[in-house]
Amino acid sequence: MKLSIENLYKTFSGFVALDRISMEVGENEFVCLLGPSGCGKTTLLRIIAGLLDFDGGVMRLGGNDLVEIAARDRGFGLVFQSYSLFPNMTVKENVGYGLKVQKVDKKEISERVATLLELIKLPDLADRYPHQLSGGQQQRVAIARALAVEPTLLLLDEPLSALDARVRAEMRFEIREMQQRLGIPTIMVTHDQEEALTMADKIICMKDGRIEQIGTPRELYAEPATRFVADFVGVSNILPTAWIRKNLPQMMDSRPGGKEGDFEFAVRPEQLVVDDQKGGAEIKDMQYLGNLSRVTLDWYGEDVVVEMQGYPKFTEASSIHVTVADGCGRWVKV
Ligand code: ATP
């Protein structure tokens, strides 16, 4: 079922936490709410879950107004950042809890739990208690518990943020695979752009309670609409109009109208090319990362980051020539 939200508005004692949010989550779609701390992601997720009131706007699931449906009757699966398993219940009791509440037949519960434990790759841990599990295992169980009741919508609030980097990377892949296999529309809150880029069908990038841009991971990376998105999703060099006019005047042709400060030019580190000619950039810093090098240059007074394959072949630290690769770079709204 499709979730649609129109002009959702939320204030906390006069402070606008969500400012006219409109978005859709299609059937089977994996949507990430991405943005820095305090931008309103969790507030939005909690309102969708029915755990928090709102001041204005409309939310519909499959055409029905969600306001009419109490939180517990929405049939949503919820997974939070902190492991919220019942400590006095075993893994299989935790996973089967929602089904027991729904008075599902015991035999069916045990079959469904066994299938879910296979799905989360923990079939042998059914009789353990939460404190006998690692963080990653606990989050897998929390996800299985949310999936047990066959939710109409799965809501994940930073489910991976407490895990170490390796487990997090593994679980990104697993959650995504599970979601696709089961075809459940999912909304995940994250402030980690890499997580959003690797997992989402669609990213909703937020700032200060507003939506900055909605798009596929590719669209957000390749076609950021605003300076904020260019900077928050991946790494960008942001160059002001006056600098471009002076040093890369040919780029001015593509600049949208508007006032001097309305737009800036964003170019990714891999879109800057260093060649053998003499030019006006100087090396400020160099990081060798094995497969690539990241070099910070002073380019006519602006710090820019350039990425290149392998070890850079600079013969000297100054007089470096930099160009923007053909067709690369974009004017973004400030
Ligand atoms: P984080 O990644 O840090 O969790 P977030 O994007 O999820 O951030 P929210 O928790 O949604 O942000 O908070 C959005 C804004 O609303 C913040 O400025 C926060 O201080 C404020 N806020 C949240 N809950 C309340 C509340 N109960 N009372 C007052 N202000 C609140």
The residue whose CA is least distant from atom 23 of ligand 1 is 43
Q: How much is the pLDDT for 174?
A: 86
**Enclosing H/E stretch for 59:** strand 56-61
Query: Which residue's alpha carbon is nearest to atom 9 within ligand 1?
Result: 40
pLDDT over 80 (residue 265)? yes
- In this structure, the answer to whether residues 222 and 240 fall within a common structural domain is no
Report d(CA 149, CA 126) in Å as an integer: 18
Same domain, 142 and 189: yes
Same domain, 266 and 185: no
Domain of residue 125: give its range.
3-227
Residues 206 and 244 in one domain: no
Percent pLDDT > 90 in the chain is: 72
| This prediction's pTM | 0.89
Q: Which of 206, 227, 248 is the last residue of a domain?
A: 227
Q: Distance from CA of residue 134 to its chain's centroid?
A: 24
Range in 87-96, 125-134, 135-144, 301-310 the model is least confident about? 135-144
Domain end marker among 163, 197, 227? 227
* Residue 226 DSSP one-character state: B
CA distance 141 to 169: 17
Q: What is the CATH number of the domain that holds 142?
A: 3.40.50.300
Mutational test site, ligand 1, from 8, 21, 42, max ligand atoms within 8 Å of CB? 42
Tens-place pLDDT, residues 145-156: 998 988 999 999
pLDDT digits (tens, 9 = 90+) for 153-211: 999 999 888 788 888 888 898 899 889 988 999 999 999 999 999 999 999 999 999 99
Where a domain ends, among 227, 261, 281? Answer: 227
For the CA of 45, the nearest atom of ligand 1 = 11
205 Cα to the center of ligand 1, angstroms = 16
pLDDT of 236 above 90:
yes
Task: Mark whether 18 and 158 lie in a shared domain.
Answer: yes
Q: Does 157 share its domain with 298?
A: no
Ligand 1, CB cutoff 6 Å, lining residues: 12, 15, 17, 35, 37-43, 191
Q: Work out how many domains the chain is built from and give that number.
A: 2
Give me the amino acid identity at 145: R
**Residue 173 class from Cβ within 10 Å (0-12 exposed, 13-18 middle, 19+ buried)?**
exposed
Tens digit of each residue's pLDDT (9 = 90 or more) over 21-37: 999 999 999 999 999 99
CB of 281 within 8 A of CB of 320? yes
For a ligand 1 pocket test, name from 13, 32, 33, 39 the mutation site with the most ligand atoms within 8 angstroms of its C-beta. 39
